[in-house]
A = this chain, B = another copy of it.
Amino acid sequence: MRGIRRNPGHSRMTDVAARAGVSLATVSRALRGSPEVSAETRSRVLEAATSLSYVVSPAASRLASGRTATVGVVVPFITRWFFAEVVAGLEKGLHQAGMDVLLYNLGDADGRSRFFDRMPLRRRVDAVVILSLALDGCELDLVTGLGVPVVCVGMQVPGCSSVGIDDIDAARRAVRHLIELGHERIGMLRGAVEPNLGFTVPLDRHEGYLAAMAEAGLDTAGLTASTPWGPDGGAHAMTELLALPQPPTAVFAESDEMAIGALRTLRRAGLRVPEQMSVIGFDDHDMADLLDLTTVWQGVHQQGATAAEMVLSGLAHPDAPPRRVLLPTRLIVRQTTAPPRISARPSLNVPA
């Protein structure tokens, strides 16, 4: 026999059609909920399908319709709390709509270039969601070249919908909190753009820090420590700032993970928080509450849910203009921030 051997176990649409006593086309329509089918026919079809435990072949359906009912989710680091939380929100919204989720975790600069070299999304998704990756021109072309809607979380791309928060404003409010407590020497622990994934978050949060300081007429020279992102980075950055001839009395960490690292450094240095050093983080990480860390909350899960919703509406209304949603943030004051013990100026005195 020529051609191809028939597939295993599964019953096919023809089987359902035969069993229900209708044509193939009617089964297809009934199963996909087309309004052209009479209620009576539909229920006969459904019954036949159930009794045969029939499931449509996604491959055949995709080939014939051109739709994949799949969305690609591209995430820099699935292991970071923030991203995992966004992915959870996305996954839920997408699966509820019957979409499949293809996960691509870049991991590092290497993984990133492998991804863009192969562009494994081509011809296999109806839409793409990208998290927090500032794309260069070339990458942008590759993504838009997919010819499907693109939704961004925590970043923007011309012509694409996006969700996020106002990082600059939120950072400014965090730093203002320290200023209002009376701090004047305020440092920032900043995550360097390590594997060069081009996050914009560090830039924006630093900008917010500078803005708040400038508004208050405070000096920032030498008070920003840039280290690799993450707890260890935060620990090192804190060490750097402590080594300053005149250390800050408070620090703003780009993320809670960095703040947590800073707390360790302070603990090991024997400095009491908040008495001798105030620390404020950003994100309201799971652990922030446990460590009594003052921070800035953002609705992370909801960013994922919103992105899912944007994907669905982008698919439903391909010609609708892109949307840009900014979700609110909120200062959460806990136990790691307090007024400086002694005014920061002239006679700062911190026992070693």
Contact = CB atoms under 8 A, between A and B. Distances in A.
A62 interface: yes
Contacts of A8: 66, 147
Interface of A: 4, 7-10, 55-60, 62-64, 66, 68, 73, 77-79, 81, 84-85, 87-88, 91-92, 95, 100-105, 107, 111, 120, 122-124, 147, 231, 235, 260-261, 263-264, 286-287, 289-292
B123 A10 contact: yes
A27 to B, nearest CB: 16
A326 to B, nearest CB: 23
14 contacts: A7-B66, A8-B147, A58-B123, A59-B123, A78-B84, A78-B91, A88-B105, A91-B103, A91-B104, A92-B111, A101-B103, A102-B103, A264-B290, A264-B291
B68 A79 contact: no
A186 to B, nearest CB: 23
Given A91-B105, A100-B102, A63 B55 contact: no
Give how many copies assemble into the complex: 2
A105 B79 contact: no
Contact of A57 (B63, B77, B87, B88): B63
Contacts of A292: 264
Nearest to A66: B7
A60 B58 contact: no
A284 to B, nearest CB: 13
A78 B68 contact: no
Nearest to A285: B287
Given A9-B147, A87-B105, A102-B103, 10 more contacts: A7-B66, A55-B123, A58-B124, A59-B59, A59-B124, A63-B63, A79-B81, A79-B88, A100-B102, A231-B290
A60 B57 contact: no
A263 B231 CA distance: 18
B120 A287 contact: no
Contacts of A87: 78, 103, 105
A287 B285 CA distance: 12
A62 B7 CA distance: 11
A282 to B, nearest CB: 17
Contact of A64 (B4, B68, B100): B4
A105 B92 contact: yes
5 residue pairs, one from A and one from B, having the closest CB atoms: A59-B62, A59-B63, A103-B103, A84-B84, A55-B122
Contacts of A147: 8-9
Contact of A102 (B7, B84, B101): B101
Contacts of A263: 290
Nearest to A64: B4
A100 B84 contact: no
Contacts of A291: 264
B79 A84 contact: yes
User: Could you say which of A58, A66, A92, A264 has the most chain B C-beta atoms within 10 Å of its C-beta?
Assistant: A58
A153 to B, nearest CB: 15
